[in-house]
Amino acid sequence: MNNNSVITHLRHVGFAMPQLEEQRAFYSQEWGLIEIAEQDGVYYFAAAGSPEPYVIRLRKDERKRADVIGFGAATRGDIDALAENLKQGGVRIIQAPHELASPGGGYGVRFFDLEGRVIEVSADVAARKHRQLHPGESIPVKLSHCVVNSPNPQETVDWYEKHLGLQVVEALQIHGRKLMWFMRCSHPQHHVFAVGNAPHVAMHHVSFDMRGIDEFLRGVGRLQRSGHELIWGPGRHQTGDNAYGYFSDKAGNTVEYTAGMSDLDDTWEVTEGDLTDPLVLDTWGTSSPWGEHVMKHHFNTPDEGLFIAPPL
């Protein structure tokens, strides 16, 4: 399976919430990101092993919301062509292609998706000076993927296929009811994005790649030792073959440490996993159980910023 989506990778996710100071401390001191800049009340956090200038941005707001999901594209020409296609397709543009003032600059377009999430696609962003992590370092190398909750999941999946060229590689179902759709971009990584069947629009989780399985487990253990609840894990999903450990940030968004996700090859065919098979959730069999408690965290609270452009 090949894909020539305009999207090359996931760049960053932005959150807004009332408890900004607790969030800043969580993402830098606990989760292991590096606070690199503050501009007009927006705080930017990089991952040590990633060339992206930032992978998380935080902003104080009375409303808890996802501010933006940022994807990469290859060239400025791709941004212009995408913007034209979005306009033709009736997508609500927030900002036409323009020079970005955020760390790393670049050229990007911002728009609402079908359900009012804010999406930014950018190119020509300056790479951040990064480094190889050492064996045993239990902090994120880079952003891996994010998953969104949707009460209209099939329509949302169709929207991302039509407008961004993302492609479903695998779905999960239980008793014939589809619960999640995993989507790839032009990069062969199994998924950079997924849509979950949920009662409301919200961020389901944001996932960070660790150096390897050893560093993943050390990270899970480090957070548990410092008192953070491991909501689900440590286990290894059959879908994408990635290890998982889910925690909560200070605003109740779920964040994941992961490692080992597979790349797709040209022979890949779309498959469907059955969640009644315990191997589908966790091939290792080591994880805490999946159930109501996990789903409640993953559903999150309804996003309070739909179809509202963030100030930055």
Give the footprint of Fe ion on this chain (CB under 5 A): 207, 256
Determine the Cα angle at 84 with ends 87 and 270, to 5°: 85
CB 30 within 8 A of CB 206: no
Q: What 8-state DSSP symbol labels residue 264?
A: P
CB of 258 to Fe ion, least distance (A): 6
C-beta of 189 vs 207, nearer to Fe ion: 207
Q: How far apart are CA 210 and CA 6, in angstroms?
A: 26
Closest CA to 151 of 303, 308, 270, 305: 303
CB of 149 to Fe ion, least distance (A): 13
CB of 244 to Fe ion, least distance (A): 6
Q: Which residue is nearest to Fe ion (CB)?
A: 207
CB of 93 to Fe ion, least distance (A): 29
C-beta of 121 vs 194, nearer to Fe ion: 194
C-beta of 105 vs 188, nearer to Fe ion: 188
Helix ranges (H only) for 127-204 are 153-164
One-letter amino acid at 28 equals S
CB of 190 to Fe ion, least distance (A): 10
Closest CA to 133 of 192, 208, 54, 215: 215
C-beta of 251 vs 255, nearer to Fe ion: 255
C-beta of 33 vs 123, nearer to Fe ion: 33
Q: How far apart are CA 289 and CA 186, in angstroms?
A: 34
